[in-house]
Structure 1
């Protein structure tokens, strides 16, 4: 089995797969008489048909075995942790391409672009996530088993 070492989640590294969602000072706008800072337009919701929706996913730690990938061909999917704990985003260009694992801080979210292959929610500690994705009656997920699974290995 392959060992997969996660890299820090950065906008540059994650760009082939989507957008990093974090309080970027370059997007800061003072509002509400200066009592609030808005970090504006950190990601755009992409949906083909249907409507963008907000959900809460309650994640629990699971084995760090990456044996399959999924993708949502008709809309983006964003995950923002609400518990402030680190989590992992694992992606690949195709199910046979090299995997990339990103270690997200507890104050970083990630938005997978429509059609991006990724592993399901992979949190390192139980926590809730705000999820922005597409609501439609038809199924919007494709699954692929990996010929060669990998295990994410975190530094001790």
Structure 2
């Protein structure tokens, strides 16, 4: 992507605009249509299947040839990479062709209680099996929102905007 120069506008992430790339994850509420089950002796609510998870990966198996890959929950600690008022340069897009990825921010609290926003940069796959630059979009995720990438979606590694953030 180093020979390509383009500018894109950043918008707040919402499900309608983000739909081609994945899903926005947030805590459902009864008013949003979320159906909850009472859990933990009435002290919590459980919402099942809040996002679609797809896994097309497989691992070799001596008996059957292959088995579905085992899901892996990781935590990334992301350092801020952007200075307010400056341009952010996209130098890398990657993709995971065979499975959904889900990222949920866990911002470390600051004394000022500011921050936790993160930048999401995505693109659809093109006919040449490279990022389709015409579909390149940038979104700001808020501290209370997570996102998923559908299998095969090109994306920039997560970008913490103003503070160290942990992204699951």
TM-score after normalising by structure 1: 0.76
Q: 2:19 aligns with which of 5, 15, 24?
A: 15
RMSD of Structure 2 on Structure 1 (CA): 1.7
Q: 2 CA distance for matches of 1:28 and 1:65?
A: 41
TM-score after normalising by structure 2: 0.71
- Which residue does the alignment assign to 1:67? 91
Q: 2 CA distance for matches of 1:59 and 1:28?
A: 33
Q: 2 CA distance for matches of 1:28 and 1:107?
A: 19
Question: Is 1:27 paired with 2:63?
Answer: no
Structure 1, gaps ≥5 residues long = 131-156
Q: How many residues are matched?
A: 130
Structure 2, gaps ≥5 residues long = 59-68, 83-87, 109-115, 126-130
Structure 1 residue 83, shift from structure 2 partner = 1.1
Q: 1:97 aligns with which of 125, 129, 133?
A: 133
Question: Is 1:76 paired with 2:100?
Answer: yes
1:98-137 correspondence runs (5 A): 98=134, 99-124=136-161, 125-130=163-168
Name the one with the larger strand percent: 1
Tell which structure's C-alpha radius of gyration is larger: 2
Q: Greater CA deviation, 116-125 or 62-71?
A: 62-71
List structure 1 segments (4+ residues) > 4 angstroms apart after TM superposition.
none
1:135-146 correspondence runs (5 A): none
